[in-house]
Amino acid sequence: MIGAADGSASPGAIGYAIDPAHARVQARVGFFGLGSKTARFPRVEGRVALSDHDAKAVTLDVRIDAQALEAGDSLTRSRLRGPDFFDVDHYPRVTFHATGMTRTGPHSATVTGTIAARGVTRPATLAVDFSRDFAAMTGREPVHIAATTRIDRRDFGMTAYPLIVGRQVTIAIDADLMPVGVNPYPRSA
């Protein structure tokens, strides 16, 4: 792992912050075995640091505001925010913390770590595609990422409606990463 205690990139690392204006997280789950339902999490923040010396070293901390969860209709949104699912009154955040990375191509990687939701922490693996090749990253330019993982909702105590709502949840993260220290909202001329 790399990174200073304040979350900034340490020497020998390329550091980025998630641009909250250009970050989306979606969770999709099977519904009645015929279709699916999607929840969106519009408030996401976090930091990423990649080592320019060690291809496996990564710091990735993502915080998702579960209280801002959106769904296609008010009943689904209410149920997902409620005690049977995310229980946002007691657990307002979902987090991902990386513990390692394996590069799988010039601009793709598998990132291992943990997801914490509802007071439960479980291992998770993200498949991540970067918009730039690792060799071309300098830490001075924005980078776009698309990441996916699958979890079993029961592992996080979300066991309600087992005959209606599927067990497997596909999570997709789509975000722009801004170099640390660069304002993602430059002033207009």
Mind giving me the DSSP string for 32-77?
TTTEEEEEEE--EEEEEEEESS-TT-EEEEEEEEGGG-EESSHHHH
In the 8-state DSSP scheme, what is residue 153?
A: G
For the chain, what is the mean pLDDT?
86
Please write the tens of the pLDDT for every residue from 153-180. 999 999 999 989 999 999 999 999 999 8
Distance between CA atoms of residues 164 and 31, nearest Å: 6
Contact 43, 13 (CB under 8 A): no
Phi, psi of 155 (to 5 degrees): -65, -20
The rounded Cα 8 to chain-centroid distance in angstroms is: 18
pLDDT higher than 60, residue 3:
no
pLDDT of residue 51: 77
Please write the tens of the pLDDT for every residue from 81-108. 999 999 999 999 999 999 899 999 999 9
Torsion of CA 27, 32, 33, 38, to 10 degrees: -20
pLDDT of residue 9: 42
With CA atoms as reference, report the closest residue to 178 among 52, 38, 22.
22
> For the purposes of burial, counting CB atoms within 10 Å of the CB of 69, is it exposed (0-12), middle (13-18) or buried (19 or more)?
buried
pTM over 0.85: no
pLDDT of residue 135: 83
Instruction: Identify the bridge partners of residue 30 per DSSP, sorted by sequence position.
Output: 36
Mean per-residue pLDDT for 114-119?
96
Please count the other Cβ atoms lying within 10 Å of the Cβ belonging to residue 7. 14
Which of the two residues, 187 and 142, has the higher pLDDT score? 142
Mean per-residue pLDDT for 44-59?
81
**Which residues lie below 8 Å from residue 31, measured CB to CB, with a gap of 6+?**
37, 164, 165, 166
pLDDT higher than 90, residue 36:
no
Which of the two residues, 53 and 139, has the higher pLDDT score? 139
The token pair at 143 is 């980078």
